[in-house]
Amino acid sequence: DAKTTQPTSMDCAEGRAANLPCNHSTISGNEYVYWYRQIHSQGPQYIIHGLKNNETNEMASLIITEDRKSSTLILPHATLRDTAVYYCIVNSYGKLTFGQGTILTVHP
């Protein structure tokens, strides 16, 4: 199963872009990268996923490097409500392996 590595914590000022990196150097050709976030006492919330190309939706953008060994989640204008644990996950043929995630703290 592909493993992911993320920084333990990051800070961001409200209104600025938050760029969360993830390393998944052992990813295989058909394995998608997913991002979820979890706010205390709630279940994880889906943000975005992709295979090769960059993806954008109403919540965020996902930038995947050409060799697919790493990706970056971009929250374009972070708000205080974006404070959460962010998980980068690889879908290994139906098994999702969650790492410890990145604690993102958005400051006023």
Binding site for other proteins (CB under 8 A): 32, 34, 36, 41-46, 49, 87, 91, 93-101
Instruction: State the minimum distance, in angstroms, from the CB of residue 18 to other proteins.
Output: 21
Residue for token pair 């690889």? 90
The DSSP output letter for 59 is: S
Instruction: State the minimum distance, in angstroms, from the CB of residue 40 to other proteins.
Output: 11
Instruction: State the minimum distance, in angstroms, from the CB of residue 80 to other proteins.
Output: 21
- Considering beta carbons, is residue 24 or 36 the nearer one to other proteins? 36
- Considering beta carbons, is residue 43 or 108 the nearer one to other proteins? 43
68-to-29, 31, 40 alpha-carbon distances in Å: 9, 10, 30
In angstroms, rounded to a whole number, what is the distance separating the alpha carbons of residues 108 and 97? Answer: 33
- Considering beta carbons, is residue 1 or 13 the nearer one to other proteins? 1
Parallel, antiparallel, or unpaired: how do β-strands 18-23 and 70-75 relate? antiparallel
The total of other beta-carbon atoms located within 10 Å of residue 71's CB is 25
Instruction: State the minimum distance, in angstroms, from the CB of residue 16 to other proteins.
Output: 27
